[in-house]
Amino acid sequence: MAVASIGRVVPAWQGPLLYVEYSWTWYKRSWRSTIVSSVVNPLLLLLSLGVGMSIFLGSNPKIAEFTGGVSYLVWLAPALMTTAALQTATFESTYPILANFQWVRIYQGINATPLSSRQIAGGTLLWIALRAFSVSAVFAVIATLLGAVHSWAVIPAVLCSTLGAMAFSVLVVAFAVTRVDKQPGFEVVFRLIMMPMMLFAGTYYPVETLPVWAKAIAWVTPLWHSTELSRGLSLGTLDPLSALGHLTYLVLLIVLGTWATMRLFVKELEK
């Protein structure tokens, strides 16, 4: 049985940072194992689809209609950046969370220190956000070197990619906590939610080309909102009112998911 922290001596704001410090110490020894899934795979997609399709499509006027006159490579890059961030955040939100609760019981050990359950939850979400941000930033730098980025607006686009990744991640973390001592069920998240979202949320082609029922599904996904923000910023086509709508939706998801995650961490660690 987990023992809840008592006599909290760590300030509320410092606890999550201490958890991030622990995560960084561990990650420095294992970062090589994440390079392929976090950076290499999205860049291969950028090279194969972005560069390859740009050459194949050439100056097709029909393609220029939905890319806003830029090459398919430039149009695709911001979307792949948001996808890479979401994919990384999702992986960090599944088995690592379950392992820390159930297999290696890291959370129980940390909870025996002055850190509270809420601080551990906050540190977990902060670490996932940093992972998503770092992947987006690295992708943006390499995409710039490949000629896929032509504006400094890619910097706020990186932040929007992180925001979209966290809007989905916080919900997945909450789900992961509910799977302690049960069958994980993460294949449902990967195969039936994340993968279709990556395919149909406007990453490779405009959502407007989908049937009405498919558009409605795409519109509720956080990836579509973050893709629209990142792409609009990168291409200079983002409408302020649309940006406000996208940001509001993503922030609401983050608030809801963070609230659920906090409650579930407390319930699991202080039972």
Q: What are the pLDDT digits (tens) for 66-114?
A: 777 788 888 999 999 999 999 999 999 999 999 999 999 999 999 999 9
The pLDDT value recorded for residue 71 is 83
Burial label for 129, CB within 10 Å (0-12, 13-18, 19+), is buried
- Rounded Cα–Cα distance for residues 165 and 129 (Å): 8
Q: How confident is the model at residue 187 (pLDDT cuts 50, 70, 90)?
A: very high
Burial label for 223, CB within 10 Å (0-12, 13-18, 19+), is buried
Asked if residue 79 lies in contact with residue 203, where contact means CB atoms within 8 angstroms, the answer is yes
Q: Is the pLDDT of residue 135 over 50?
A: yes
Q: Is the pLDDT of residue 18 over 50?
A: yes
**Mean pLDDT in residue range 32-46:** 79
- Rounded Cα–Cα distance for residues 191 and 93 (Å): 15
Tokens of 26: 């561990």
Say if 42 falls within a structural domain: yes
Say if 9 falls within a structural domain: no
Say if 53 falls within a structural domain: yes
Asked if residue 110 lies in contact with residue 19, where contact means CB atoms within 8 angstroms, the answer is yes
**Sign of the C-alpha dihedral computed for residues 268, 20, 31 and 259 taken in this order:** positive
Angle, CA 164 vertex, CA 110 and CA 214 arms, to 5°: 130
Tokens of 60: 């097709």
Q: Is the pLDDT of residue 6 over 50?
A: no
Q: Which residues contact 13 (CB under 8 A, 6 or more apart)?
A: none
Say if 8 falls within a structural domain: no
pTM recorded for the entire structure: 0.91
Domain count, the chain: 1
The pLDDT value recorded for residue 1 is 37
Q: Is the pLDDT of residue 7 over 70?
A: no
Q: 63 lies in which domain range?
A: 14-23+34-269
Q: How confident is the model at residue 155 (pLDDT cuts 50, 70, 90)?
A: very high
Say if 1 falls within a structural domain: no
Say if 252 falls within a structural domain: yes
Q: Is the pLDDT of residue 4 over 50?
A: no
Say if 201 falls within a structural domain: yes
Q: Which of 36, 177, 4 is nearest to 99 (CA)?
A: 177
Q: Is the pLDDT of residue 57 over 70?
A: no
Say if 205 falls within a structural domain: yes
Percent of the chain with pLDDT strictly greater than 90: 66
